[in-house]
Amino acid sequence: MKHVLDELTYAPSHEWVRELGDGVVEVGISDHAQAALGDIVFVEVPEVGSRVTAGAHCAVVESVKAASDVYSPVNGTVVASNGDLAAQPELVNQQPYAAGWLMRVALDAATPGPVLLSAAQYRQATT
């Protein structure tokens, strides 16, 4: 079983969400996802100011195996992108829940996103 953090919520497509406060969340891919992808060699994150829609493509993670789309688990506007991933894409493998985050999003209160999975629900879905 891959590592799942209890304080996060998860999308069925293997993205995680961390509440940062003031309507802003941090988003990345789960340990399960990075392990399935293998060694990550390139990450394309959305630009600051971009709008993201829950369930829609928002980023690309390329590994030695394949390129994979990342889907936004929330609706909102990107307020920060992890620029460190351009030079160090391996951070997604090494620290998927810390330095390997992809974007920070100001949530769109008028358009709530889908209900995300708790850590327990995500663990059950990935076993």
pLDDT at residue 109 tops 90 = no
Q: Which of 95, 49, 83, 53 is nearest to 70 (CA)?
A: 53
| Domain 19-111 grouped into CATH 1.20.1250.20 | no
For 57-69, how does the pLDDT look when each residue is reduced to its tens digit (9 = 90+)? 999 999 999 999 9
Give the chain's mean pLDDT: 95
Q: Model pTM? A: 0.95
Q: What is the pLDDT of residue 1?
A: 47
DSSP labels, 68-96: EEEE-SS-EEEEEE-THHHH-TTHHHH-T
Query: CB of 30 within 8 A of CB of 14?
Result: yes
Residues 18, 20, 22, 25, Cα dihedral to 10°: -40
For the chain, percent of residues with pLDDT exceeding 70: 99
